[in-house]
Amino acid sequence: MNNNKFLIVALPIIGFLFSLITITNIEAATAAYDCNQNVCIYVDQMVPTSFTEGIFMQADIVKDTFSDGSQAYPFITVQSALDYIKSYPDAKNHSFVLLTTGTCAPSQNLINDWWKCSFAVDSSFPKTVLTAVPGETTLPQMELKSYLSVVTLNNASDFTMDGLKFTWTDTEATALYSNFNVTGTTKNVKIINNTFEVNVPEYGAVLTFSKNIEDLSFDESTIENNTFSGRFASAIYVVNNGMTGAIKNNKFINPNSLLLDLDVTSHGVSVLQNSTVNGNIEGNSFEMTGKGIYGNNAKIKGSILNNTITVIASGIQFVIPSDYINNPTLNLIEGDIANNQINVATSKSAQSINTIGSGISVEYTDLKSFSVKNNTIYNQALRPFTDAAKTITIANNDILNFHYGCSLSAINPTVEFYNNVITTNNLALALNRLNKISLKNNSIYQEKTDIISRRSLILISNSPNTFIYNSILYADIAAIEIYDNSSELATKLISDNNLFYNKNKNIQFILQNVTKTLAEWQSLGYDKASFVVNPLYVNTLKQPLDLHLRSLSPAIDKGNNSYAPPTTTDKDGKPRIATGKTRKNIDIGAYEYQS
């Protein structure tokens, strides 16, 4: 077989439409995988004209009796090409490229059609790349029905799938399924630049990693630059002690999520049952999935960064592990949650879901070196509910929401909460059973509407070491409320050097259901150096709001440096103590005025 001169030409067949592949296109397709350096094998997914149904057996198709991988006789199934690789002389010392074209859509009457469209890769294959040449390349396009998986990677190593299109359609599927299954001990498996389209009435997983171990002594596996679209329960499903590498720059599109009668089980990425992602979940785009990134007894050996997430219920959610009572194992996130753009849907069809949803919700999670920074969250809460190992930093976030701002609950270590901007028409902060939290230099604006269900901007419960400094609290409801459960530790609050304001200038506080004026509040020892004045935000009249300070803001230079956050910059990354009459004190709020 001459590996340098093969050209595959798609022949017209009744019932199929193929593109004519020219030699220029072949050269373009193989540029990344040089046929001078690799053994190139050609696959054209169509039944040859010499095959006559009723005369030849199905086995002839499965075994590719007519093919040798050459230009004249390309293989018609991926499995045939993979089997050929196994028998190639001195195969382990070669690298192979499968150049694939055509649409895997078996003729209507062909028995056991799924054989033709399925393939399996295991550790007996040498280094192999399966890639598409320009033109229509789809595999497989078929009805799933009862089949568990059409593509299986079992103990696969050094295998790359690049640029293929997988389409699954079935109007009769009645059970959950996995289209693409990765099991066993895997190493250096790369699934890149592919398109996965799933359209079935019942939910299933598109790409599943189950009971597999990633051999980290080799290059890590990656799932990158793929598009998952259609109707699915999970696009990437890491389950049952499964493991994968980084998940980067993928697109997850599930436009059917809004049609599921409040069913929010559809996820972009699910990590369950003691499973692991060895790397970052980074740069992905999630469009109208029920939830973006979901973990239950999950381990993320990296960070969750730079994702754009539009969802119905929750953007990033890690929940209490299912078997926590019998086996109190926590979720694990080793890196940060940072620079994510999260938008929780606010359409009328999703309203009842929004009341329980969240932008970021992290429960029962061991946060090794953890911070929540520079995230923008629209319409729902930032909700870490954790059992963490060290100080948690929540800083430089935009929480621009429809209902609740941020809910922090049952956190043992110190929480540093600073340089955050929260706009809300309801409760901005709920602090419940926190061992210690310091809120410094935050800017909060609550716009009164007809749907307010809470009576305070900040609600504190059973949190014995709570500090609020150098912050702007602008609200038409009570600024701070303390309400403790008598059976737990009482809240001890130190609050000072804050700026309060509302349109009526009647600042109120609530202590165990008793409303207090500012004077009464101060007589109890709270906020003695705090004051009431309009902070002069740049814009609170129309969306988008802007909580930067105007040049004449009374918040400029009025911060107390002793209460400054553990950073020398403001929310924008600009230096503190940048301007002002004295240039000795920081400004109050998340933003330092810059002249």
Q: Looking at the structure, tell me whether residues 455 and 561 fall in a common domain.
A: yes
Average pLDDT, the chain: 80
At 557, is the pLDDT very low, low, confident or very high (cuts 50, 70, 90)?
very high
Question: 558 in a domain, yes or no?
Answer: yes
Reply yes or no on whether the pLDDT at 308 is more than 90. yes
Helix, strand, coil shares of the chain as percentages rounded to 5? 10, 45, 50
Lowest mean pLDDT among 111-115, 441-445, 489-493: 111-115
List CB contacts of 90: < 8 A, sequence separation 6 or more: none
Residues 182 and 136 in one domain: no
Give the CATH number of the domain where residue 349 resides. Answer: 2.160.20
Q: Are residues 486 and 364 in the same domain?
A: no
Q: Give the residue with greater pLDDT, 424 vs 225.
A: 225
Both structure tokens of 246: 């980084």
Q: Is there a contact between 483 and 461 (Cβ–Cβ < 8 Å)?
A: yes
Q: Say yes or no: 321 and 246 in one domain.
A: yes
Q: What is the pLDDT of residue 25?
A: 40
Report in angstroms the alpha-carbon separations of 131 from 40, 213, 319.
Answer: 11, 25, 38
| Average pLDDT, integer, range 389-406 | 78
CB 9, CB 73: distance < 8 Å: no
| Same structural domain, 247 and 378 | yes
Report the 10 Å Cβ neighbour count for 513.
Answer: 9
Query: When comparing pLDDT for 390 and 546, which is higher?
Result: 546
pLDDT score for 147: 46
| pLDDT computed for residue 3 by the predictor | 37
Give the Cα separation of 531 and 561 in Å (integer).
17
**Residues 384, 430: one domain?**
no
- Are residues 242 and 105 part of one domain? no
- The distance from CA 129 to its chain's CA centroid, rounded to whole angstroms, is 27
- What are the C-alpha distances in Å from 231 to residues 144, 146, 201? 14, 18, 8
Provide, rounded to the nearest whole percent, the portion of the chain with pLDDT above 70: 74
Q: Which residue has the higher pLDDT, 454 or 285?
A: 285
pLDDT greater than 90 at residue 327: no
Asked if residue 142 has pLDDT above 80, the reply is no
Structure tokens at 272: 């369950």
Residue of 545, 540, 556 whose CA lies nearest to 594: 556
What pLDDT is recorded for position 459? 94
Per the structure, the complete domain to which residue 579 belongs is given by 423-595
Q: In this structure, is residue 163 part of a structural domain?
A: no
**CB 322: neighbour CB atoms within 10 A?**
12
pLDDT for position 206:
86
Bridging pattern class, strands 234-239 and 205-214 = parallel
276 lies in some domain = yes
pLDDT on residue 124: 85
**pLDDT of residue 507 exceeding 70:** yes
Residue 17: what pLDDT? 24
Domain boundary, last residue among 142, 159, 191: 142
Provide the whole-model pTM: 0.81
> What is the number of domains present in the chain?
3
CB 62 within 8 A of CB 116: yes
Encode pLDDT of 460-471 as tens digits: 999 999 999 999
pLDDT above 60: residue 574? yes
Q: Does residue 92 share a domain with residue 201?
A: no
pLDDT digits (tens, 9 = 90+) for 252-302: 998 665 434 444 567 899 999 999 999 999 999 998 777 899 999 999 999
Name the band, by pLDDT with cuts 50, 70 and 90, for residue 353. very low
424 closest CA partner among 455, 440, 448: 448
520 φ, ψ (degrees, to nearest 5): -65, -40
Residues 127 and 251 in one domain: no
- 38-42, 149-153, 222-226 — which is least confidently predicted? 149-153
- pLDDT over threshold 60, residue 115: no
Question: In this structure, are 460 and 329 located in the same domain?
Answer: no
Residue-level pLDDT at 350: 43
365/233 same-domain check: yes
401 is a domain residue: no
State the pLDDT at residue 4: 32
